[in-house]
Amino acid sequence: MLTAAFLGLVSAVMAIPAPAPVAEPTIPAAIVVRVPEPTAAPDLIERNIIDDVETYVEGIVSDVASSISSLVNSGILDFHGFPTGTAVEKTLGISDDDLDAQPTQVLNIPPYANWTDAGWSVRVHGNVYKLPNVSQDKIDDLANVFLIDTEVDELSDSGKAQARNLTRSIFVVQQDDESVTVDFVNNFQVADGSGVVSAKGGSQKIKLPYNTTEEGDFDTFVTLRNTSDSGGYLTPGNETSRVQAINLYAEGTNNNGNSTAYLVPTEGITIISDIDDILRVTKIYEPKEGLLNTFARAFTPWRNMPDIYANWSTSLPETHFHYLTTTPEQGTRNYMEFIYDTYPLGSFDTRPLNFSDVSATLAIRRFLLDKVFQTFPNRRFVLVADTSNSDVMKAYPALYKDYPGQVQCIFLRNTSATDEGDRFPYNTEGFKDIPQERYMFFKVPDDLRNLDIANGHCYNSSIKQNVTFDYQGLPFGLSDDDNAASGGVAPRLGTVAVGVVVGLLALLV
């Protein structure tokens, strides 16, 4: 029943047709047909190809229940159908009274701060929520929806714990119109090998100027006074090249509203990194695997990527790391725990809850990226992600053009080069006119070794590039030049098919 209610809820949001059975991508007859007779109806041929491409893309997601195929696009939790607020209460059958008895919790997402005429300005953001008291049986029913071909009962103990944890994190009840007060305390412990220093002053209490939104979110800049602790002070952002860290605690929580703010100097290099399929093995492009890797298996680093980041953190000691993923806010704690155990410390962005309809979902990455760029107009950025995110493929090269001189390097893992399971098409058009020196499509983490990033040498000349500035990785060889050469019709069909694939991918978000 519960499961049915949840499915009903999500399918109301997602109007995805039931996927067709997996069709191995065979070369459709239409594409090898020579130039058709003048009398042949082109519509028919186009229709064939559209059918085949539709079947192809649907095939990719067909091993996942249609109701959750929306998880697929750019983050396995990239799902605008997670219930919020009263929808959660209804799904779980809990009352306001039950909820009142539970403590208020605050997800305090590690912020960045910029240096302004008024002092350090910190972007405090996160969410206020309550964790309803739900029985394990109910949670298991809900978790089973996300597990394909298995169930909670069949998982190892650690798998069970993870599935239950993430499911409980999704079914929280966000609290609107709450006032949030944070205590800044300069008790940050510097980790070995980290270039980040502990702030010497700045302890203070700040009440945020706005209450939480309808979805329980808060997101606002606050200015730190230059208070002194035992004679120390905050260092101005134009007088240091080091990132200063200061802890902040949300009041009235059971100690899990803690966070660390990173005070980032006016000038320097910021590495903005996506997480799924670049820092951890997710396999978003194989939805069933993607779900299991998120709900049922420990988060695992992608190859030796942690070595590369550790090295950047020590060999470029003044670097600021910012982790920007479009995974929904509900998964933030799990992503943070993995990142801080495995990669250098840094600020964080996940998807705010008000970005919920389809068009907003497509816009969220660019929105968050613009916010970072506008906050640090004098810093240079290294952008890292993989080719399986259509929003990355659009946003990263666009930023190079929209913020001249600010994008130092773009590094994209070519996911299909090491994982033939990735059959998602991607578009490299945005890279036209960007000098090769500034970007690289790479295969394995070692390709990133020994680059002179500080001086903008971002290309390892031993890594062969195959950038066509067009759609790549399309099925049936549609992106091959060979087809273009075979007659006037194929290119046009290719364009139609591309439209269909892209349309379907947009639907899948």
Ligand X SMILES: *[C@@H]1O[C@H](CO)[C@@H](O)[C@H](O)[C@H]1NC(C)=O
Residue found by looking up tokens 């053009």 in the block: 401
**Alpha carbon distance 406, 404 (integer Å):** 6
**424 contacts 453 by C-beta, under 8 angstroms:** no
Q: Which is nearer to ligand X, 65 or 243 (CB)?
A: 243
Of residues 293 and 479, the one with the C-beta less far from ligand X: 479
- Cα separation, 341 vs 275, in Å, equals 14
**Smallest distance from the beta carbon of 67 to ligand X, in angstroms?**
23
Residue 19 vs 265, nearer CB to ligand X: 265
Nearer to ligand X among residue 64 and residue 164 (C-beta) = 164
**What is the distance between the alpha carbons of residues 165 and 170, in angstroms, rounded to a whole number?**
9
> Of 48 and 311, which has the nearer Cβ to ligand X?
311
Tokens of 186: 């300069």
**Residue closer to ligand X, measured from CB, 69 or 343:** 343
Q: What is the dihedral of CA 491, 496, 502, 504, to 10 degrees?
A: -140
Q: Which H or E element spans position 101?
A: none
Closest CA to 105 of 189, 168, 188: 168
Q: How far is the CB of 287 from ligand X (least distance, A)?
A: 21
Report the greatest alpha carbon distance in the chain: 88
CB of 357 to ligand X, least distance (A): 8
Q: How far is the CB of 59 from ligand X (least distance, A)?
A: 19
Residue with smaller CB distance to ligand X, 70 or 164: 164
Nearer to ligand X, 6 or 355 (CB): 355
Give min distance, CB of 352 to ligand X, in A.
5
Cβ of residue 79: shortest distance to ligand X, in angstroms?
16
Strands 439-442 and 217-223: unpaired
Cβ nearer to ligand X, comparing 204 with 334: 334
Q: How is residue 470 written in tokens?
A: 């067009």
Q: Which residues bind ligand X (CB under 6 A)?
A: 101, 110, 114, 116-117, 119, 121, 131, 133, 165, 168-169, 177-179, 211, 217, 219, 221, 226, 233-234, 236, 238, 258-260, 307-308, 311, 315, 333-334, 336-337, 340, 352, 354-355, 360, 374-375, 377, 414, 416-417, 428, 441, 444, 446-447, 449-451, 460, 462-463, 465-468, 472-473, 479-480
Distance, in Å, from the CA atom of 51 to the CA atom of 191, rounded to the nearest integer, reads: 55
Q: Indicate the DSSP class of residue 509.
A: -
Report residue 187 as tokens.
């008790």
Least distance between ligand X and beta carbon 21 (Å): 26
The smaller minimum CB distance to ligand X, of residues 20 and 363, is found at 363
Please, what is the minimum distance in Å from the beta carbon of residue 259 to ligand X? Answer: 4
Torsion 447-451-456-459 (CA) sign? negative
Positive or negative, the Cα torsion across 346, 199, 329, 356? negative
* Residue of 500, 486, 504 lying closest to 33 (CA atoms): 486
Residue with tokens 């990133």: 448
- Rounded to a whole number of angstroms, the minimum distance from the CB of residue 10 to ligand X is 20
Task: Concatenate the DSSP letters of all residues of 143-178 into one string.
Answer: HHHH-SS--GGGS-HHHHHHHHHHHHHHS-EE--S-
Q: How far is the CB of 341 from ligand X (least distance, A)?
A: 9
Residue 458: closest CA among 428, 491, 435, 425? 435
